[in-house]
Structure 1
Amino acid sequence: MTTTTAEHRQEYGHGDRYDRYEALTGLMELMSGDEKHGPAATSTLDALWVLYDRVLRVGPDRADDPGRDRFLLSKGHGPMAYYAVLAAKGFVPVDRLPGFGSYDSPLGHHPDRVLVPGAEIGSGSLGHGLPIAVGTALGLRAQGLHDPHVWVLVGDAELDEGSNHEAIAYAGPAGLDRLHTLVIDNSSASWARPGGIAARFEAAGWSAATVDGRDHEALYAAFTASHPGRPRVVVAQVEPKDG
């Protein structure tokens, strides 16, 4: 069952003066430093916003609720967009953003689930997020928790890692229909071919869609499309990293 934006906000209590897409650029500008990985961060911004604003059933007051959706950021380098969205949604105080990456800041160059409210995993070592998401979906199923959705955001280059081959190959036949993978495609993969990402998932039994990663309505439609009995992948194409 798809929850409308208004219902989502009412249930999970989101909303303050930063809770709007237009505020995200200013929130990101509060973070500075030599390790910003700016292109990696900005490539994820629109997809993250649509997820947290309109799709994910989670909020700062329910971060430990067993029935919450799980979002796993596997593409953990350059997390400024992630931190900005978490701040906009009330997980992280805005006044913590200027200290990004400093010695005593909880907001490191890679998110730490112990230090960052709302973060489900510590990430940054690429190739781990999707296998962890598969395990999370299996764990929820084993506990009889069939309502929560599991989302994982990965980069296109990250899919070169062999651990992802195994996760993709397993999840389809296992029928993990609560599992969703969001691939940010900024043409970074070494062995890519046009259309190859979606085709690879489809060959393993996944439901797949490729959309403009800056088009909020296209992202929302792809995120909420029905895919009974199959895991879902959405490939969000954005401008090339070096472009």
Structure 2
Amino acid sequence: MLRFTPTSLRKAVLRMAYAGSTVHVGCAFSIIEICAVLYRNHLRYPGFDPRAQDRDYLVLSKGHGVMAQYACLHELGWIADDELDRYFGDGTRLKGLSDAHVPGCEVTSGSLGHGLSVGVGLAMAAKLRNTDQRCYVIAGDGEMNEGTMWEALLFARHQKLDNLTLIIDENGFQAMGRTDEVLGLGDLARKLESFGFESRTVDGHDEQALDDAVRALNASRNDRPKAIVARTVKGKGVSFMENENAWHYTRLSADTFAQAMVELEER
């Protein structure tokens, strides 16, 4: 049985980040529970095939958090164990940003503000094909600074894409500082409602609350696209990373890797 436990997923992220001597640990950690709930309970892959024509879609618009998604694909068996230890290395297919060449990754993203538009297109295509496919898009709160995000929201409501669910990772930070200091967005849930979305706000690390919100929105039949504002902690799970924006760009040393793994073992 696939469990997608947050602790095991965070350990996989640490393995990748340490092996590749690369960054973006904090922003991967903040979406761990979101990814776990979606992969465990909601995403459908007929025939266990990541390329199945009638699969559901998970679009990682905040592509720099891709290690969280790779950790889930590893649990599914679509990424081999040894690939985690070659992350970001020469010849690997696992790059530091989401890449559509990796089965299970729907978009090549990382240049922020584009993934939601792709997700809207996938949701509309499913509507035109008259399938029951759903499209989930994970975006960052800093990414909501991009004008293309709001254009996509308008289009989604106009086309009545009730098979689209946007999940915003509201961890309060972006690359260079706090989101409220860089460009305040106010109450995102209210803004989304004003754009015609049906929205919920939840603790983004409470798996039951996330699952309940997804189920309630999926069950709602009102022709409105859906949204979840998930309030999260950047770096969640390791004490010295939590709410510390330096871990957007800090690489693990042997000592910090060992310390982080010990903390996760104790959970």
| TM-score after normalising by structure 2 | 0.79
Point out the structure with the larger helix share.
Answer: 2
1:68 to 34, 46, 55: 55
Q: Which residue of 2 aligns with 1:242?
A: 244
Question: What do the CA deviations read for 1:45-80 (whole angstroms, capped 9, x no partner)?
Answer: 111001101111127832222221011111111321
Question: What do the CA deviations read for 1:58-116 (whole angstroms, capped 9, x no partner)?
Answer: 278322222210111111113211111110122211210011111211100112111x1
Which shows bigger deviation, 130-139 or 206-215?
130-139
| TM-score after normalising by structure 1 | 0.86
Shift in Å at residue 227 of structure 1? 2.6
2:205 to 197, 210, 214: 214
Which shows bigger deviation, 210-219 or 36-45?
36-45
Do 1:213 and 1:237's aligned partners in 2 also have CA atoms closer than 8 Å? Answer: yes
Shift in Å at residue 117 of structure 1? 1.7
CA, structure 1 residues 98+60, in 2 after alignment: closer, same or farther (shift >3 Å)? farther
Sequence identity percentage: 33
* Alignment coverage as a number of residue pairs: 225
The code of the aligned residue for 1:72 comes to: V
> 1: distance between equivalents of 2:50 and 2:226?
24
SS at match of 2:138: strand
Q: Which residue of 2 aligns with 1:50?
A: 37
Q: Which residue of 2 aligns with 1:81?
A: 68
Do 2:46 and 2:54's aligned partners in 1 also have CA atoms closer than 8 Å? Answer: no
Do 1:150 and 1:178's aligned partners in 2 also have CA atoms closer than 8 Å? Answer: yes
SS at match of 1:167: helix
* More contact order relative to length (CA 8 Å, sep ≥ 6): 2
Do 1:111 and 1:122's aligned partners in 2 also have CA atoms closer than 8 Å? Answer: yes
CA, structure 1 residues 73+44, in 2 after alignment: closer, same or farther (shift >3 Å)? same
Q: Which residue of 2 aligns with 1:91?
A: 78
* Gap regions ≥5 residues in structure 2: 174-178, 235-242, 246-267
Q: Which residue of 2 aligns with 1:133?
A: 119
> 1: distance between equivalents of 2:82 and 2:46?
19
Do 1:60 and 1:118's aligned partners in 2 also have CA atoms closer than 8 Å? Answer: no
Q: Which residue of 2 aligns with 1:144?
A: 130
Q: Which residue of 1 aligns with 2:25?
A: 38
The code of the aligned residue for 1:175 comes to: K
The code of the aligned residue for 2:137 comes to: V
CA, structure 1 residues 193+162, in 2 after alignment: closer, same or farther (shift >3 Å)? closer
Aligned-CA RMSD value: 1.8
Matched, 1:203 2:190: no
> 2: distance between equivalents of 1:65 and 1:171?
24
> 1: distance between equivalents of 2:74 and 2:119?
24
CA, structure 1 residues 163+109, in 2 after alignment: closer, same or farther (shift >3 Å)? same
Do 1:72 and 1:153's aligned partners in 2 also have CA atoms closer than 8 Å? Answer: yes
> 1: distance between equivalents of 2:146 and 2:191?
14
SS at match of 2:116: helix
SS at match of 1:103: coil
